[in-house]
Amino acid sequence: MMLRDQVLAQALLLAGELTERQQAVLGALCTATTASLNARLREGLTAQDCKADFVAAASLLALAALASVSEDVPVEQITVGDFTVRKGAASHDAASNCLRAQAELMIAPYLKDSFSFRGV
């Protein structure tokens, strides 16, 4: 099984019930997060070197992105003059930010552009 497929399988497991469209979007997001994290790995490391953390972090990042583009967010404000549409995404943003933060903490020791404390 390819790494992207493992990321998708874990994301689907964590996501719960999704529509067919959401599953397709999640698949594309898993491809993107897998590629993004691969590009950020420290020199000399591969995704296989930190596979469990990599898969978990990539799946959380994909779920965070999915929550950010969710269609379920209610519209709170519509203004016609100068056209404004504001969605009430505060709870979705909080969930997305939490997932992103957890993913970044999990994968931080393996990334070239990140800092994390290790045991002393």
User: How far, in Å, CA of 42 to CA of 26, rounded?
Assistant: 26
- Answer for the pair 37, 5: CB distance below 8 angstroms, yes or no: no
Q: Has residue 88 got a pLDDT over 90? A: no
> Both tokens of residue 32?
């993107």
By three-state DSSP, how is residue 78 classified? strand
pLDDT of the residue at 94: 76
Distance from the Cα of residue 45 to its chain's centroid = 21
Average pLDDT over residues 7-35: 93
pLDDT of the residue at 99: 86
Query: Would the pTM count as exceeding 0.85?
Result: no
